[in-house]
Structure 1
């Protein structure tokens, strides 16, 4: 809070037959009754300066300057500002909360009135909208003490107001008191204007509540005399996008997406370089570090893996800088060059990923899509849809719940977090959301062989990727034995079949090589029939003998 004071003492007296206790603050009296009723409904951990938010995320020095400047200019340029709501949106871990925190602290330094509510899914008081208005109202009392009597009277006149709608609470306890002290001249127009910051809207558990809150905010903000401007920070989840779009609020809404326009990679590079310099200067084991540590390639790899999302870089640097560990070894563990000990580098990031995947409705379809994209390193939606023989729209709909970490708007699947595939492929990190390479390679190999058997061509090269990492299951063996080259609509030539048999030979089905020998015979007969057909098609006028074609075939096949 910008304005606060500890309790100095208590004074009791009788007024009108009613016992009243006043707690004496070094700013004003807070009496039992209305305000005490209010304070019992305040989520103190939601303040931007709450002691319960230990070391809250904030922007690293010399980073995020462009977006911070844009937001702060929006706040202070009242005469030219047409929008009253700013929606700061971006991928999970993009740094939205750090930006919101930094803006709140900057406003305090510049004497701009700011109240805030930072949602957080794991906090029972911060994961619903129930305490949002009361928490903002309490901050209003601290910032504009002249509203105290009005708010207290409103509560005491309607003791059940906290059981009424948020619409009523916001109108009676937040909007009217601030407008009234302005109209009565008790405070200046400048002091009756306030910035409200609502961060992490997507952390509120109920999607319907999120949308309802947005509708409520738009209803209030449309009031011409409304003394608030509001910053809302959240992921660009589909239902939140839809709520913003449905409100038709283009004239009062400014959208700021944290995209490539803000050069996040450069900011992350600055952050990583500064943190390494700090480790070399302050770490207890800095004397063990070489003068040219860290290796530039490993430092740049952190920036690359971050993919513009600060959460990865922050988690990585915290892990490297653990005071009881050797920083150089920690960096090697981070990049898989050394076996990790008990500490896990990305515990915070992994928790975020698991929470996101817990919201997915059709996990099997989603994992089918991601498995193909990761194992084949091919992300074209049309190709994946063709492989699974499903409409492209089904791919897009299945990935809606992952919109905070995956983007597929331009016809390709793009991981907003380059570290997400690492998470999925590591069972110790992803746990129940583990994407097992061998299991999925087997499933995809079987699907490929099934596809070609029914006339769906799936690209000859992908089969080798799948077979090379497959488990030797009975189902896969049965599919391989039933495969015949004439099922292919495209003949890849001897090179394809040579590689195919080479891969099959390495699969051990515990059948003493029977599966491999069977396929050698099938392919050999097929190739000889193909070359015989080609010879006949040439015609006798070309003066080419069957024996010469056979020799060429045998030479190439061998």
Structure 2
């Protein structure tokens, strides 16, 4: 399987069209220079070349209209910034040679097993887990092996690649560069229906990918087996559509967010129907995303991708701590060479940073970026990081990039939750903070009492319906998860300690900060209301719990 070298052999039978070849032969007026000057009817394999006052190229398989008109229109609907080697992604993150070995080997084994029944791989992982670095690494390996058909990297901050609208045309564009007949079929299809880009994603995929490949198969027969077959899509969750540019940070309005989620689901459905379920196509598709609504619901039990997709959850199973340790060790050694001081850091410093990262690659990347800022001493900046504690008025902000990430995710989730009519009057941030405080224990210092509530009980105390936390945290699944306990109980777990630190520090969370006193005040009011509403024959244990919570919150308020 992984050792089958034939699967990795670059295709020999298909010429590749470079992007700068797109307008070849379209020179305006005047004499032209040709390799076949003075000749006519020269045959070069399956392409016939005829020299005349203007040029016509005939493919040997009836691929259709050869005009560039359709291709030019396609070029207006693609996202060049999304390509894995685009200038917009200069110095894109990728895995070091000896990091993420287990997960990249698993992915490459799946890619190389062309007879495997699951032709769709979905990799989900928390924010900052390193999904894009893994995708970039896989894209480069596949390109080197000659098996990369198309690769797209979405980004919510780049308006040219933050919607699903560009994905199908950009895949078709990259496939067209792999073979002239495929390109001609796409060009003819777009010329025939210039409004194709306004149709459903399934119609686009059928017209721009499925049918052109069927034409190619008919014209080239068995030779088509060497056509590059790997399609990569990174950051499906980043396809969020419109943004409110006046908000800080810019986040999608609730309606736009729901529309974006629907389009993400539409893309997944189109990939399943047009590619995964079509045994006549050779493609294997690898999608990476945070575990947001569209892909999460598709992969859950009963979801339409559950049985057809190979699912990798990028978690601690893949030993991220060891990878991060090697990442920092190598980069700190490089810094030592640059400053001519190889002893500038200690092993303990690396261990402290790895523990603080709690499996979050974006944390160590942020650390490295801060330490290597120009006009600063790496050793002094490392000391600042290790000793840094946030407080109001703090000038040094080494985790500013991480805070922007948390702020964006939290702001979007807040808008989406509070926009639901049945959630009118609810304070999303207060509810989240209450559940966050319950991750540890509520403590009554005067009585030395510790309380920890099940998710359902805490929801009841907060005035929410049973199992409300599933909805409450629906848009935070890239930062938190709900761990099932006994029965229907579920409790909040944060993936990263740094997110907990963010929630607890006003200097970092800023407008999203909720002080403990607000949570305690809300719980006190709720407990008083519940005690008043309790019937005389109410279960005494539940009544005692209300009294304990009331005592807890009042004591906490007094001691704040």
> Shorter-normalised TM-score: what interval?
0.7 to 0.9
- Residues in 2 aligned to 1:219 and 1:332: alpha-carbon distance in whole angstroms: 54
Change (3 A) 1:181 1:413: same
Determine if the alignment matches structure 1 residue 213 to structure 2 residue 267: yes
- 2:384 matched to which residue of 1? 333
Q: Could you say which residue in structure 1 is the equivalent of 2:431?
A: 365
**Residue 159 (structure 2) aligns with:** 124
Give me the whole-angstrom Cα distance separating, in 2, the residues matched to 1:34 and 1:342: 55
| Secondary structure, aligned partner of 1:52 | helix
SS at match of 2:368: helix
Provide the rounded CA distance (Å) in 2 between the counterparts of 1:397 and 1:162: 34
1:354 aligns with 2:407: yes
- Which range moves more in the overlay, 375-384 or 356-365? 375-384
Taking a change above 3 Å as real, the CA distance of residues 21 and 433 of structure 1, as seen in their structure-2 partners, is farther
- CA separation of 1:117 and 1:326: change in aligned 2, threshold 3 A: same
Question: Which TM-score applies when normalising by structure 2?
Answer: 0.73
- 2:81 corresponds in structure 1 to 45
Q: Is the CA contact (8 Å cut-off) linking 1:373 and 1:379 kept in structure 2?
A: no
The answer (yes or no) to whether the contact 2:527–2:549 under 8 Å persists in 1 is no
Report the secondary structure of 1:83's partner residue: coil
**1:238 to 1:163, Cα distance in 2 relative to 1, 3 A:** closer
Q: How many residues align?
A: 457
**Aligned match of 2:323 in 267, 282, 286?**
267
| SS at structure 2 position matched to 1:131 | helix
Corresponding position of 1:233: 288
Mapping for residues 545-556 of structure 1, pairs under 5 Å: none
Question: Taking structure 1 as reference, are residues 132 and 239 closer, same or farther at Cα in structure 2, changes over 3 Å only?
Answer: closer
Q: Is the 8 A contact 1:121 1:127 kept in 2?
A: yes
State whether residues 298 and 306 of structure 2, in contact with CA within 8 Å, keep that contact through their aligned partners in structure 1: no
Secondary structure at the counterpart of residue 266 of structure 1: helix
1:57 aligns with 2:93: yes
Q: Please provide the CA RMSD for this pair.
A: 3.5
Picking from 119, 132, 136, the partner of 1:101 is 136
Stretch moving more, 259-268 or 70-79:
259-268
**What SS does the corresponding residue of 2:230 show, helix, strand or coil?**
strand
How far has the Cα of 1:305 moved from its partner?
A: 2.3
Does 236-245 or 151-160 show the bigger shift? 236-245
Helix, strand or coil for the counterpart of 1:231?
strand
Structure whose alpha-carbon radius of gyration is higher? 1
Partner SS state of residue 160, structure 2: coil
- Using a 3 Å threshold, how does the CA distance of structure 1 residues 121 and 387 change in structure 2: closer, same or farther? same
Are 1:293 and 2:293 an aligned pair?
A: no
Shift of 1:401: 2.1
Distance apart, 1:386 and its partner CA: 6.2
Shift in CA distance, 190/440, structure 1 to aligned 2, threshold 3 Å:
same
> Relative to 1, partners in 2 of residues 1:441 and 1:299: Cα closer, same or farther, differing over 3 Å?
farther
Indicate conservation of the 8 Å contact 1:58/1:99, yes or no. yes
8 Å Cα contact 1:200/1:235 also seen in 2: yes
Q: 2:351, 2:454 → 1: CA distance? A: 28
Give secondary structure in 1 for the equivalent of 2:89. Answer: coil
1-structure distance, mates of 2:70, 2:356: 52
Match of 1:420 in 2: 499
Q: Does the residue aligned with 1:373 lie in a helix, a strand or coil? A: coil
Whether 1:175 and 2:226 are equivalent positions in the alignment is no
Measure, in 1, the Cα distance between the counterparts of 2:212 and 2:481. Answer: 44
State whether residues 64 and 267 of structure 1, in contact with CA within 8 Å, keep that contact through their aligned partners in structure 2: yes
Contact 1:305 1:418 (C-alpha < 8 Å) held by counterparts: yes
**1:436 equivalent in alignment to 2:487:** no
TM-aligned CA distance change 1:308 to 1:178, over 3 Å: same
Task: Give the C-alpha shift of residue 102 in structure 1.
Answer: 0.7
Matching of residue 314 in structure 1 with residue 393 in structure 2: no
Structure 2: stretches of 5+ with no match in the other structure: 1-15, 31-52, 57-65, 241-259, 419-427, 444-451, 485-489, 535-542
CA change 1:379–1:326 in 2 (3 A) is farther
1:168 is displaced (CA, Å) by 2.1
Post-superposition offset of 1:244: 3.5
Q: Which has the higher contact order (CA 8 A, sep 6+)?
A: 2
Higher mean alpha-carbon deviation, 332-341 vs 185-194, is at: 332-341
1:276-300 alpha-carbon deviations (Å, 9 max, x no partner): 2222222x4x64x8x372360x422
What's the CA shift string for 1:365-400, capped at 9, x where partnerless? 223322443674957535634654655512333222
1:457 is matched with which residue: 536, 545, 559? 545
Name the CA shift for 1:338/1:263 in 2 (closer, same or farther; >3 Å). Answer: closer
Aligned to 2:27: 11
**Aligned partners of 1:446, 1:299: CA distance in 2, in Å?**
46
Q: 1:413 to 1:20 in 2, by over 3 A?
A: farther
Alpha-carbon distance, 1:71 to partner: 0.6
- Closer, same or farther: CA 131–238 of 1 in aligned 2, 3 Å: closer
User: What's the offset of the Cα at 1:115?
Assistant: 0.4
User: Partner of 2:181 in structure 1?
Assistant: 146
- Aligned equivalent of 2:425: none
Does the 8 Å contact 1:83/1:253 carry over to 2? Answer: yes
Maintained 8 Å contact 2:439/2:493: no
Kept in 1: contact 2:122–2:311 (CA 8 A) = yes
Aligned to 2:9: none
Q: CA deviation at 1:321?
A: 2.2
User: Per-residue deviation at 1:57?
Assistant: 1.6
Given the alignment, which residue of 471, 474, 495 partners 1:400? 474
311 and 458 in structure 1: CA distance in 2 versus 1, 3 angstrom threshold: farther
Mapped to 2, the partners of 1:227 and 1:299 lie a distance apart of: 45
